[in-house]
Structure 1
Amino acid sequence: MTDNVWGYRETSGRPQGVDLTGFKVEAVDGIIGKVDKHSDEAGSAYIVVDTGPWIFGKEVLLPAGTVSRVDVDEERIHVDRTKEQIKNAPEFHRDTHLRDEAYRAELGTYYGIGGPYGGRII
Structure 2
Amino acid sequence: MTEHVWSYKPTAGRLAGTDLTGYKVEATDGSIGKVDKHSDEVTDAYLVVDTGMWIFGKEVLLPASTVVSIDPEEQRIYVDRTKGQIKDAPEFHREKHLEDPAYRSELGSYYGVGGTSGRF
TM over 0.5: yes
Structure 2 residues without counterparts, runs of 5 or longer? none
Alignment of 1:25-44 (within 5 A): 25-44=25-44
The secondary structure found in structure 2 opposite 1:40 is strand
Partner of 1:13: 13
The secondary structure found in structure 2 opposite 1:95 is coil
Whole-Å Cα distance in 1 between the matches of residues 61 and 117 of structure 2?
A: 16
Normalised by the length of structure 2, the TM-score is: 0.91
Alignment of 1:43-122 (within 5 A): 43-113=43-113, 115-117=117-119, 120=120
> Which residue identity does 1:115 align to in structure 2?
S
Whole-Å Cα distance in 2 between the matches of residues 14 and 3 of structure 1?
A: 19
* Displacement of 1:79: 0.3
Whole-Å Cα distance in 1 between the matches of residues 118 and 74 of structure 2?
A: 32
Normalised by the length of structure 1, the TM-score is: 0.90
Structure 1 residues without counterparts, runs of 5 or longer? none
Percentage identity across paired residues of the two chains: 67
Superposition CA RMSD, Å: 1.5
